Amino acid sequence: MRTSRTTRFTLSASFGALLIVAASVPAQSPAADPNMARALRALTVQPVIDGHNDLPWRIREDTVHPMDVEAYDLRKRAPGMTDLARLKRGHVGAQFWSIYIPGERNDKTYRAKGEVASTPGYARVQLEQIDIARRVVARYPELQWTLTADAVTASIARGKIGSLLGLEGGHAIENSLNTLRTYYELGARYMTLTHNVTLDWADAALDSAKHHGLTPFGREVVREMNRLGMLVDLSHVSPGTMSAALDVTAAPVIFSHSAARALVDHPRNVPDSILARVPKNGGVVMVPFVTVFVSKAVKADDDQLQALTAAAAQRHPGDTAAARGEVAAWRAAHPRPKATIADVADAIEHVRQVAGIDHVGIGSDFDGIDENVVGLEDVSTYPALFAELARRGWSDADLRKLSGGNVLRVLRAAEQVAARLKRERPASTATIEQLDGPGRPPTP
């Protein structure tokens, strides 16, 4: 259980009995389902380029062989949601592997590694995650290290799975543009400006807003990412940060795993006011398979559970067993609703309606979730979603844009902007002290 990640999804994970593991739904054969045949045809031409998969963290937290890349064998059916056979069945052509680290400084991940490292920072764990991800890619010939859009295209043409890294959370740079550049050199091709914690320079969606979006240093982070060619990822950030980043960036942005707030009012989702700005920027919103982001029923259930849990704790002060018993009794009488493929398709179609077909993609969040959308249980299941969209009238060309064409365009555009900016200006030497001054908020 990845507490620091899953708190963004649902409090039901606090009670083991409340988790739902949806059973796989047998798919019709392409011959029996013309929509599946169309989906597979589109995915053969343009395989899925997924914006967010947490396999490196899943390997780190494996209960049997933690952090052991060799023992977590992707040639077999892995215990998580990702392995080589299922990636092939899912028609995955490239993947941004998330190199997530928790943003909460008191997380157990940052426990001391000896007296000299009694107060470890984020960088150690970030480098460990980069190491895990790079060793995974190096271990399997089926995966190929791809640092550019052209490299991704060439890798797909060779039948490989292009592999890029997505750095999830700007806390990892520890307020240092030098560190940001080092991560880029190690392979990070996007950075999510925040995770769940508001930083010294950027507001997070699930934390208090302190900066009206971005501080002057936060804006400089965006500018330096543009100069490097690192995609600015606006998942996890507040609407104010989204807006500020769109004001500053010279390159298209991504939302690596966010859905539509107009459909499900979750703070991690993207408001229509921001979606409407995405076309002018040229970016892409990559819709996830996170139940509480795409299902109103699941979100309402979470809200009810949170209120009930708080009330039970008040009614039974100091008696956690009684409080848990009350919540468990409520759950027994109120089965957890299930999110469906139709819910995900609705979110995708809403992004398409507001932002346009050129600005929507897929960011599953596989291996970073502990509750599945029914029918989207692992990386083999993408065709089922594309068959649903084909059933709704999507053209083959539109399916190809969604599966990977749009994010490839964004990556290529960011590279072009970076080439221009590198001719125009050197690497930034600005510091947070210089730009934000002594009155900036303390680090959380």
Cite the active site residues: 52, 54, 168, 195, 236, 257, 365
Calculate the alpha carbon distances from 104 to 133, 171, 179, 254 in Å: 22, 9, 19, 24
Structure tokens at 16: 């083991």
Q: Rounded distance, CA 135 to CA 404, Å? A: 25
Which residue type, as a one-letter code, is found at position 433? E
Which residue type, as a one-letter code, is found at position 216? P
- Residue 437's Cβ-count burial label (10 Å; 0-12, 13-18, 19+) is exposed
Q: Rounded distance, CA 59 to CA 73, Å? A: 10
DSSP states of 281-309 as a string?
Answer: HT-EEEE---HHHH-HHHHHHHHHHHHHH
Q: Rounded distance, CA 288 to CA 117, Å? A: 37
Q: Rounded distance, CA 353 to CA 326, Å? A: 43
Q: How many CA atoms lie within 13 A of 393 on its CB side?
A: 1
Calculate the alpha carbon distances from 143 to 138, 156, 205 in Å: 7, 10, 33
